[in-house]
Structure 1
Amino acid sequence: MKNRNKAIRWLTAAALIIALGACTVMPGCGTRQTEDEMDTGYKVKKLTLGGVDAGEYTVVYSEDSADNATTANIVADLVKYIDDAAGIKLSALPDSSPEAAAAKHRVIVGKTRFDTEKVKAAQAKLTNHGYALLFDGGDLYLTGDTVTGAMYAVYSFLEDYIGWRFYSSKYETVKPAAHIDVPASLNVSFSPKLLNRDTYWYDTFDNHFAAKLKLNGGVNRSMAGYGEAIHYAGPFVHSLPSLAGTSHEPDVQPCLTDPEVYARVLENVRTYLRDNPDAKIVSVSQNDSFPEGLGCQCENCRRLDEQEGTPMGSLLTFVNRIAADIKDEFPDVLVDTLAYRYTRKAPKNLKPADNVIIRLCSIECCFSHPLDGDCERNKEFAADIEAWSKICNNLFIWDYTTDFLFYVNPFPNLYVLYDDVRFFVDHHAIGLFEQGNYQSYSGEFGELRAYLLAKLLWDPDMSREQYFAYMDDFLEGYYGAGWKHIRKYIDLTSKQAAKGDMGIYYGVDTIFGVKRGSDEAKKLNEIFAKLWDAALEAADEEHFANVEKSSLQIRSAALILDWTYFESSSAAEDFCNKMKQYDIKYYREGTQMPEHPNYYGDGVTW
């Protein structure tokens, strides 16, 4: 942009909306159209299933499934998204109807009375809510081992074969195509490795959107009407204060060798589980703590800790005992505890019971480098996960994927997400909880990060090339014509952050390894700003808001890297107004945007 006085210049939507016109060649204008070229008004001009026009098909489902609400929702979505893509409105009938039996071609959702031996054999091979897509006898089956598996079949079909992209809870689109034919040879199946898949980002708390991303974590989302979720009975973390009736103040930990504490905890665990019969997990986990925190220091607790070489000694002894005492009444429930801060190190001899989850937390790690790389800061964690993976059958991970000091600041971890998820799964993790900005919408890359994490949690065995292909697909689809500028920004910020380490409470100056107000900081800020300006200039009306919202990250960075008392005040006011416009209510963990910000502050002192 010309004549810019600031590192970034806000471009108004009115100035950037591009009047797009489509010049369609019409019959009689000198060019004759084929059927596939005719403009139907829909992005998918022609849709055939197994070589047969999709309009010849009827959607068939069971009205007596294990979860009728989910079945109804996914059938409605299948009909809606095919109609929205190709303008073909399919009828949907229960499998008990004569019309369903008489239909020449059917799209069969879930388990029905029309399942053939071939289909039943495919279902029998699935596990963990897996799905299968296949043709048999002229019918297309979108099925699974459960109703949830059938749900994943529907959304996978819409995405992989119709071209739908579910980028965020507020933005989805379908890829243009002259002709899509779903081949009659279709026969694919997939069973996910991970038992628990949770991206703890605000945008994914929408049940419908979470189902499309195939997330099944039940923290802050019920998933009612959208398949099975893994729910906790009672608090999902830091539960011992509630269970034991002790203080919730950080670093106040109950005595784990006190018989009265044990009795209260056991009674409350049983109460939680009896009150929540559908819960799969109950948390018996330590109170939150600061880095220097420790557990109970009484003689009995210390003796157990010294025997095991870690404060996990007293905690795991306690948790194993709870797990044993509830197992007969609740044989399918897992007891979840944290390996967090002072309990992160695995014990020498003690092993978790078969119905105990160890949730290993990466809070101290560096997130600009892979956890299995050469970064000194990550080597202790790598040793810990190696030790836990040898003794634990139910290893879960609590990972951290944002800057909790300032949610809107750049947090260049997109390069390492692939490596870290693979690292967790290679060490036999069966559940991943990827904590991000869980308190409001993102002014950074929240939507992109949640999307990529969901893809990785569903298929952690994907190649690195596939991961970056998903990234580029999102960038182009969500941000529009200027997406390559944003990809370049991701590349540059990732490389800059990798020059040092990056914790989850770092300021942007520390992340980029520059001093506030320095020439280097100003130069970086200018380079990054130009890329976002170019992306904004290229954006059409459909994509402009997506670009502008994510560009808030470099606006916030500018207020810190290149802050001056007077010149930055108007930029700060504009920034805060944009935060309100995009409903971004929290700028750091636990801290809402003030109603009347101090625009002469530097973005950290608001």
Structure 2
Amino acid sequence: MKQLIILLIIFNLLSCSNRQVNLDSNSLSEYTIVSDNRAVADTLNVYFKKALGVELPIASDIKGNKKYIHLKDNSDFLTDYMSLSFSEYSITVQGNNSKMLSYGVYEFLENFLGVRWYSTDLTVVPEITSFNIPLDKEIIYKPSVTTRTVHSRLFYKDSSFADKLKVSNEAFPNYVPNARVHTFHRFIPYDKFYDNHPEYYALRNGKRLATQLCLTNEKVLEIVKDSVASFFKKHDLSTVISVSQDDNTQYCMCDSCSEIHEREGSPAGSMIYFVNQIAKYFPNKTISTLAYQYTRKPPITRPESNVLITLCSIECDRSVPIDEGCKNFQKDLQGWSKLTQNIRIWDYTTQFTNFLAPFPNWATIKPNINLFVNNNAKWIFEQHSNNPSELFELRSYLMAKLLWNPDLDSDIIIKDFTNGYYGSGGIFIAKYIEEIQFQLNEAKPFFLFLYGDPSQAFDTYLSPENLNYYDSLFKEALASVPKQSGYYNRIERARLSIDYAILEAYRKNFSKQYPLKRTKNKVTMINPNVLERLNDFDHVTNKNDIILMNEMGFTVDQYVINYQNALKLASKNNLASDKKVSLLTNPKKYANEDPQVLTDGALGGNSFYSNWLGFEGNDLDAIIDLDSIQVINNLSLNFLQVTNHIVFYPLQVQFEISRDSVSWKSFPIILNELSLSPKSKVNDIQTFSQVVNKEKARYIRVIGSNIEKAPLWHHGADLPSWIFADELIVE
């Protein structure tokens, strides 16, 4: 590996008694920047000008310059000058990245001038009178993680900012576009091959399903080889391609594949068997594959030297470090590290179902990175939200700093950032981080899930009392800075997570602190605080170009509209409110399997954890007793769709009414107008309504028909499908 000498400052005729020199604007002006890289030299000059008001001359060589700052990208120093009795200080960064020269300069600016690149909207350059340089000292830094990626649009949209934080400015450097992860379906598409060649695909319970490929089928190997060759030919500058399982766990269990799994002790056996053959065919390229879910456990066979193992930690609890709470992953990581030095970690650091939700995993980020580094991981991909999420800028900054230097102290980084980015409001935001982490620790055991929901924590770290306290901290933070300042806007943006959690608490309608409705002068209405909070949330997200609520493409606008629609339902005089619900079919797992969820006044959100009653593979069939015969004009019930989690709208819904629960009057079947297809909206809510025109009834029956199994084109093909329902409205 080439050693890159990045920054050398030569001092001539200086007293060395204190072993350091103080440079002010006058003494610094005596120096020349020597470099053949004008862009990097100009960068150094820009910050000298901002910090000390000095702009130095730039020369291409050191001849004639007795005091100089030498920027070099190799170790071939001129020995004639090195033999002189000069004092010197140098920063050396070792690596083979062409940007190492810039990285060394940024290290110098950060450590000696106090420059901070907090985010794309704030760089802090302190105005200083001088700075101290230690003499006869060299700092040598060799990054333990050679490819550092934080999945954040802050870095992807601004490559210069990525350089300053020393991370990549793309998610998959050097990969073939469109072949970066979950690629089996790209090489052998279902719509082109399945009908004529079902044997190319996974055998499950006697059926061939297009969920994964049959990795022992020789024809599959030939087609994938041809596809990989075609991709590389089209993208000849790319050096890496992913040959990896699709995003489901339905791998092939035919006799040939199963024999390998048994022999190798893991379904990863057939994957490595297959990928190794591809790798041998492309010896000068890197073939990336996944150790993910069912392939996470390492096999016996070693991957070829040009196979990159991408090990994924998706199952792990984020409330504690992996080496405490996810021992099986740690064991698998150690197992892979014995098989190969070519490991890429795919780690997860946000709640993908709710980007803006509070997600107190602060105490796990550093120890997890340390664990990866200690087990040969040279390439780490931290899958942040890409789009804005809770304390988005801080999380992006923290992960970048730790990937560059895993030995740094997280608490010091957080304190430095909050003070710099939020001004005098920073102490309150730092206190929020500290307190919510403490409350999560008090709640243990608590599984902090990547696909969870705030409602899971309403009795622990997001209890009404805790939400009140967090909210008060953000109010103090806002009050501490000028309203028209950048600090104020950044604090407003940071508060969105608490706004969102409180909105969800209102929706659930479970506490006196956050009631969905209020009664005044015997008139019940929507709590005006809900409307105010929703309007503020809408305003701040729009002002800051915050578009997405989750990874399924559910937008902030859709969230606000759905919430407003839910409030319209809640404002109605619901004859079914808190009435007894009897189920004729069995729910499963969610909402504590409590049928009263359908009439409890709490409104289901965009996640199936949020007050939805779920049915897996069977229909919803419920009867609601209104206690007495009532005049009814309209019936409605909401259903949730989250297609990537096999949650679909019912095929149809039918309402029936009765006065005695014996004789029933049926209304026309309501068909699902949004039929399921690969282009269906991933995350949405649909209301099924029936006008009944002043009918009299005591009992309401609603039947939602499940499609029962995911269709063949879906990644969950042949698995039981879910329907989720909430809040029957009877007017």
Give per-residue Cα distances to partners, 1:509-555, cap 9 Å, x unaligned: 3245449xxxx822111011011111111124242222111111111
| Number of aligned positions between the proteins | 507
Scaled by the length of structure 2, what TM-score is found?
0.64
Query: Are the structure 2 counterparts of residues 404 and 112 from structure 1 closer, same or farther at C-alpha, using a change threshold of 3 Å?
Result: closer
| 2:349–2:384 CA contact under 8 A, matched in 1 | yes
Q: 1:28-427 alignment to 2 at 5 Å? A: 49=23, 53-62=27-36, 71-95=37-61, 101-111=63-73, 115-117=77-79, 137=86, 144=93, 147-205=98-156, 206-216=158-168, 218-219=170-171, 230-232=174-176, 235-246=179-190, 252-289=211-248, 293-327=249-283, 330=284, 333-347=285-299, 349-373=300-324, 375=325, 378-427=326-375
* Structure with higher strand content: 2
Partner-residue secondary structure (3-state), 1:368: coil
Structure 2 alignment gaps of length 5 or more: 1-20, 195-208, 508-515, 518-525, 567-602, 607-683, 685-731
Residue 251 of structure 1: CA displacement? 7.1
From the superposition, tell whether residues 114 and 52 of structure 1 become closer, same or farther in structure 2 (CA, over 3 Å): farther
Distance between the aligned counterparts of 1:410 and 1:113, measured in 2? 48
1:185-235 deviation per Cα after TM superposition (whole angstroms, max 9, x unaligned): 342110111122111122121211111111136427xxxxxxxx5545652
Report the CA distance shift for 1:237/1:53 in structure 2 as closer, same or farther (over 3 A).
Answer: same
Match of residue 478 from structure 2: 536
CA drift of 1:576 comes to: 1.4
CA drift at 1:268: 2.6
Counterpart residue type for residue 506 of structure 1: G
Once residues 176 and 233 of structure 1 are traced to their aligned partners in structure 2, the CA distance between those partners, rounded to angstroms, is: 44
Deviation at 1:497, TM superposition (A): 2.4
Quote the residue 1:436 is aligned against. Answer: 384
| Structure 1 residues 72 and 317: alpha-carbon distance in aligned structure 2, compared to 1, 3 A threshold | farther
Residues 113 and 302 (structure 1), Cα distance of their counterparts in 2 relative to 1, 3 Å cut: closer
Give the aligned residue type for 1:91: P
In structure 1, the partner of 2:448 is 502
How many angstroms does 1:110 deviate by? 2.5
Give how far 1:81 is off: 1.7
Gaps of 5+ in 1: 1-46, 63-70, 122-134, 221-228
User: 1:158-196: CA deviations, max 9, x gaps?
Assistant: 111111011112211024544213234342110111122
Q: Residue in 1 aligned with 2:490?
A: 546
Q: Which amino acid aligns with 1:592?
A: T
Do the aligned partners of residues 112 and 59 (structure 1) sit closer, same or farther apart at CA in structure 2, a change above 3 Å counting?
farther
Larger fraction in helix: 1
- 2-side partners of 1:119 and 1:262: how far apart? 60
2:88, 2:137 within 8 Å by CA — same for their partners in 1? no
* 1:86-131 superposed Cα distances (whole Å, 9 cap, x missing partner): 2112233434xxxx6333422222238983349999xxxxxxxxxx
Deviates more, 1:162-171 or 1:107-116: 107-116
Q: Does 1:476 align with 2:419?
A: yes
8 Å Cα contact 2:268-2:296 kept in structure 1? yes
CA displacement at 1:409 relative to structure 2: 0.8
- Shift in Å, 1:264: 2.1
Taking the aligned partners of 1:260 and 1:72, their CA distance within structure 2 comes to: 54
The separation in 2 between residues aligned to 1:514 and 1:113, in whole angstroms, is 56
Identity %: 30
Does the CA-based 8 Å contact 2:290-2:312 persist in structure 1?
Answer: yes
CA distance in 1, matches of 2:131, 2:259: 68
Q: Residue 106 of structure 1 contacts residue 139 of structure 1 at CA under 8 Å; is this kept in 2?
A: no
CA RMSD in angstroms comes to 3.0
Distance, in Å, in 1 between the alignment partners of 2:311 and 2:33 is: 44
Change (3 A) 1:354 1:511: farther
Letter in 1 for 2:112: Y
Larger Cα-atom Rg: 2
CA drift at 1:138: 6.5
CA spacing shift, 1:603–1:109, aligned 2, 3 Å: farther
TM-score by length of 1: 0.77
Contact 1:105 1:139 in 2 (8 A): no
173-182 or 500-509, larger mean C-alpha shift: 173-182
Aligned to 1:124: none
Task: State the SS of the aligned residue for 1:585.
Answer: coil
1:555 equivalenced with 2:529 (yes/no): no
- Cα distance, 1:232–1:468 mapped onto 2, change above 3 Å: farther
Q: Is the 8 A contact 1:59 1:107 kept in 2?
A: yes
* Gap change, CA 1:252 and 1:546, over 3 Å in 2: same
* Alignment correspondent of 2:402: 456
Q: Deviations over 1:255-284 (max 9, x none)?
A: 212222211222232333344444342211
Segment of structure 1 superposing worse, 314-323 or 590-599: 590-599
Residues 552, 575 of structure 1: 8 Å contact kept: yes
SS in 1 for 2:561: coil
1:211, 1:433 → 2: CA distance?
Answer: 16
Q: Quick one: structure 1 residues 280 and 177, their matched pair in 2 at CA, closer, same or farther if it must change by over 3 Å?
A: same
**CA displacement 1:465-497 (0-9 Å, x = unmatched):** x22111111111111112221112111211222
Residue 136 of structure 1: how far off its partner (Å)? 8.7
3-state SS of the aligned residue for 2:269?
Answer: helix
**Structure-2 residue corresponding to 1:128:** none
Equivalent residue of 2:213, what SS? coil
Contact 1:59 1:109 in 2 (8 A): yes
